[in-house]
A and B are shown apart, each in its own frame.
Chain A
């Protein structure tokens, strides 16, 4: 039963529940203080309309708090359930909730349409169409708030801090489960249950439903905004060292090359324990210009702060300005100039004080730094397990592979790298996912829906092998050229240019690719399919924690269209977003879902550990892997490479400068 209660902003919750032959798993996210969204995956036993023992259904809900609760008025919410897709759970509601007895007793009453109007109906408004729009997956706007209107209500009482008792009067007739299919008996409109809060983030519940069934549920919640270690638990930074007065005018060292070299070597050595590597440096009488590679700090301002502290300790007293650029793949992506006297004076002041004095500039401001001999060539390798997930195959909602991956990258000159990886699958079922056996389906070339055929094991597969050159062309323009086996399904050439001024929240990129489909065996060979694909992309930091991206162009199947993505970004690296792609492939030709859409998540490892780490886990829940609107997966796209070292991004977490 819906209510007008809202979760804390940013909360991400998973609820697993079972009753009457149906298993539901629901992922809910409080997108804004008043707006929440849920993704539900349901398996219903015996609902064999499609010939399977278990019927799986995906659905999306949204809910908006219209009015906040006051002392005299209840909170009021409006919601849509299963508003995309087949509409199995399609319903709309208005719900009001009011707390009494300091909130221990909460009373909810509401009106429901669709499924929530299928019992206890008091009125009716218009006709509710039954036809599915397109091939499903399109907002079912023609049904909203139409048809019979049902009344529902309920009370919950917090008997103790941990135990809540509930009773509800349901307006859902469960017609599909009880009449069309006999999965359970609905003998009563009433449900009773109790919830037990085990910890702040875990609760369990037991219910007696509709006079005939028992149900159970488990709810796990986390909130990127208030869980984790505030400020991190990493060790302390080195203190700034104040220069002795007499050292300020001592420029003697500038005439002795050996002394210069030893200062650089000392700086490189002292930065290393902090996971910061000096790639280039030039020391002149009054200025030090350095390029660093930060392998540890997910918060870039912390890397800059620690580098500046170390520089204050080991560089000659005559140097008054530090210019610190951050290198990614050997390319300086952004720089910060700091006055050494400000560092000395403001070490104990709020971080805003040093930010006001800092001068942010493009990476080119540090181009005068001379590359250190030990920087190139550099080998970076790793060997370890990996896991791949596959969602929503027709007869199995979740599939996974585990295997081993060996990866190596060689950095040859500034901006030039050669990278490759080999995988060997050890176990898993991804290769059993259904896959078309023809080269086109409904006239659409098969470009992604045969993913499962690239998942055989355990024979080693060449995952990637490519060369990439990064280059900053002007202070605002970056370039990338990548050639080789870019991803497990495609090889080709990818060229990209990105306009992203360092103080801008907007970036615009153009990418052009030639891609050729690789053989299923994971070797060097190709199939008889190639395509020119590419996009014009706009990236915009909207503010209030939201980031938007629009890509317009040609996709892998040769289809033209656009992708719109919006992400809620937390400043500790968490990101939760949704995207949708519509191309000129019709919804009939696209197949189930009508167009490509999905959810995507980034979970930073540093958040989980409480200490800085640049690693994170990314995963996406796609409605179904189809061929329309599929993009080439190019490693190391420019926006992600340059954005983090630019001022708007660093400003968000500048407080870490002195941490």
Chain B
């Protein structure tokens, strides 16, 4: 169980008395549901493993680009469909309304994972990865803290080619170049891995979200 989940249970216990009520005032019912969810992990949150049948079903049910994502630290995975685009940004959504925002497969934002990436300035890094070129670049990501203040994480990243591999998933099957991106600052260090096709699209990746979520594995099922 994550620290967040433990914290929620503790907090939920304290909140119970205040919530054992009914009425029209919004918040009571939802809060009560949340309290219940905190005691039954897996029901409210995304602890769910996607099966092959789930993937095939989703590909048939929806049109357009789709992703498979897995968050190992939460032991959960989900199929996401594309909900919207805004310029190069693609927003994908899970069944339980969490979203990932990507540019050609590189994660620039999340919503609903807690400790979300609010936005990113990472053009230089993306350029290196898409063009499958070795190099060094800075990347910046902004998060919200517990007081809802925005703070920026800045890291220096070393991008390099580490090999080539075939990638397949959903309706996609392609030969890719494997790129590794090691990012460091004085508090953090993480290594992202990208499988990039000949068009410079990241078809599959393992990317750092933040300390609470750890890494997320993302793979296109359909482009």
Binding site for B on A (CB under 8 A): 224-237, 239-242, 275, 295-296, 299, 344, 347-352, 379-385, 387, 407, 570-572, 605, 607-611, 613-615, 617, 652-656, 658-659
Contact = CB atoms under 8 A, between A and B. Distances in A.
A384 B21 contact: yes
B159 to A, nearest CB: 22
Given A231-B118, A239-B84, A382-B28, A656 B111 contact: no
B143 to A, nearest CB: 7
26 contacts: A227-B7, A229-B114, A230-B143, A230-B146, A231-B114, A231-B143, A233-B4, A233-B112, A240-B86, A296-B30, A348-B89, A351-B118, A379-B24, A381-B24, A571-B148, A572-B146, A605-B27, A607-B11, A608-B11, A610-B8, A614-B27, A615-B27, A653-B147, A655-B118, A655-B150, A658-B119
Nearest to A235: B97
Main SS of the interface on chain B? Answer: mixed
B175 to A, nearest CB: 31
Contact of B142 (A227, A229, A344, A350): A350
B23 interface: yes
Given A227-B7, A350-B150, A653-B149, A608 B23 contact: no
Given A231-B148, A234-B112, A382-B21, A615 B31 contact: yes
Given A233-B4, A605-B31, A608-B15, A385 B116 contact: no
Contacts of A381: 23-25
Interface string B2-40: 001001100110110110111111111011001100000
Contacts of A232: 114, 144
Nearest to B91: A239
Main SS of the interface on chain A? Answer: loop
Contacts of A240: 84, 86
Contact of A609 (B26, B35, B89): B35
Given A239-B83, A275-B26, A348 B148 contact: no
B101 interface: yes
B187 interface: no
A652 B96 CA distance: 29
A611 B30 contact: yes
B86 A242 contact: yes
A275 B149 contact: no
A594 B91 CA distance: 63
Interface string B87-130: 10101010011110100000011011111101100000000000
B189 interface: no
A383 B23 CA distance: 6
Given A344-B86, A348-B101, A295 B147 contact: no
A82 to B, nearest CB: 30
A499 B121 CA distance: 42
Contacts of B25: 295, 380-382
B212 interface: yes
A350 B118 contact: yes
Interface string B171-194: 000000000000000000000000
A240 B85 CA distance: 9
B27 A225 contact: no
Contacts of B87: 348
A575 to B, nearest CB: 12
A236 B91 CA distance: 11
A609 B8 contact: yes
A387 B101 CA distance: 45
A292 to B, nearest CB: 13
Given A235-B112, A240-B86, A658-B119, A609 B15 contact: yes
A4 to B, nearest CB: 27
Contacts of B101: 348
Interface in B174-221: 212
A614 B114 CA distance: 19
Pick the 3 closest A-B CB pairs, nearest first.
Answer: A384-B21, A382-B23, A236-B111
A609 B25 CA distance: 17
Contacts of B18: 605, 615, 617
Contacts of A229: 4, 7-8, 114-115, 146
Contacts of A275: 26-27, 30
A350 B120 CA distance: 8
A354 to B, nearest CB: 11
Contacts of B12: 608-609
A463 to B, nearest CB: 15
Contacts of A387: 17
B216 to A, nearest CB: 15
Contacts of B99: 236, 239
B23 A570 contact: no
Nearest to A10: B147
B115 to A, nearest CB: 5
B86 A239 contact: yes
Contacts of B143: 230-231
A226 B118 contact: no
A492 B171 CA distance: 73
Contacts of B115: 229-231
A344 B8 CA distance: 35
Interface centre among B20, B84, B96, B109 (most CB of A within 10 A): B84
A297 to B, nearest CB: 10
A350 to B, nearest CB: 6
A268 to B, nearest CB: 15
Contacts of B27: 275, 295-296, 605, 613-615
Contacts of B147: 224-225, 570-572, 653
B73 to A, nearest CB: 14
Contacts of B109: 348
A648 to B, nearest CB: 15
A242 B90 CA distance: 13
Contacts of A224: 146-147
A383 B14 contact: no
B166 to A, nearest CB: 32
Contacts of B4: 229, 233, 610
Given A241-B84, A607-B146, A655-B118, 5 more contacts: A227-B146, A231-B145, A351-B150, A380-B23, A609-B35
Contacts of A613: 27, 30-31
B104 to A, nearest CB: 14
Given A236-B93, A380-B24, A225 B146 contact: yes
Contacts of A608: 11-12, 14-15
Contacts of A570: 147
Nearest to B142: A350
Contacts of B113: 233
Contacts of B149: 571, 652-653, 655
Contact of B119 (A226, A348, A610, A615): A348
A242 B87 CA distance: 9
Contacts of B108: 348
A211 B207 CA distance: 59
A653 B148 CA distance: 5
Nearest to A653: B148
A547 to B, nearest CB: 15
A385 B20 contact: yes
